[in-house]
Copies of this chain bind each other. A is one copy, B any other.
Amino acid sequence: MPSDKLKAVALNCTLKHGKDPSSTDKLLAEVLAALGRHGVSGETVRVVDLNIKPGVTPDEGAGDDWPALRDKVLASDILIFGTPIWLGQPSSVAKRVLERMDAFLDETDENSRMPSFGKLAIVAVVGNEDGAHHCHAELFQALNDVGFTIPAGGATYWVGEAMGSTDYKDLKVPYDKTVQTTAMLASNAVHLARLLKAAAYPGMP
C-alpha cells in the first residue's frame, strides 16, 4: 500500500541557465511552500540545465537527460509545470518537456492506463505582461492529453500591465491575488491527489 505522504516535482521551464534569478523560480517556490503547508514535499528542477533531446520517445539515446527527469515526474503525485511567457506563449523548454511526455500515450498498462494516470498536473505561469491564460490552456490540454488530472483552480500566475517590463522576482511586496490563488491551488491539488492516490482510475478492463 502506498504511503499517503504526497510528493511533488516542480519543472522550471525558464530560458535562463543555472543560478540566474528566475521569476518562474520564485512562483514555483511559492507553490511548493503552499503545498508544504499541507505536508507535501518536493523540489524544483531547472530544465534548461539538462539535455532534454528533441524527440517523442522515452529515451533519445546517449546524453539524453529525459529518462532521469521522467523518473522524477513519475515518482511524484503532483507535477507543477512552471513556464515563463514569451510572445504570449509557453517557452520552448516547456514545449520540449511536453513532447517527451507524448510517449506516455504508447506506454499504457493492461487496462489502457498511461503511467501518468492518477497524477495531478498544476500550472504556474509568469511574465512581464499578458499571456497567462493562453499558457494555462495549452498546458492543460497537452498535460491532460498525456494522462494528467487537473484540479479545480489548477493554475496560478502573475503578469504585469500591457507591454510592461516589471519582473515578478522584482516585486517588493507579495501580490495578494497571486498569493490567494496559489493557496487555493495547493489546497485543491492536495485534496484531489489524496483521493486519487487512495483510489486509482480503473481504466478499461
Secondary structure type dominating chain A contacts: mixed
16 A-B pairs within 8 Å (CB atoms) are namely A15-B54, A17-B54, A48-B54, A56-B86, A87-B133, A89-B138, A89-B142, A95-B95, A129-B159, A137-B141, A140-B144, A144-B154, A149-B150, A160-B162, A164-B177, A192-B196
Q: Which 10 A-B pairs have the closest CB atoms?
A: A88-B133, A137-B141, A92-B95, A134-B134, A92-B96, A150-B150, A163-B177, A137-B137, A15-B54, A140-B140
A: residues with CB less than 8 A from B are: 15, 17, 48, 54-56, 86-93, 95-96, 98-99, 102, 112, 114, 116-118, 129-134, 136-138, 140-142, 144-155, 157-164, 175, 177-178, 180-181, 183-184, 187-188, 191-192, 195-196, 199, 201-204
- Complex copy number for this chain: 4
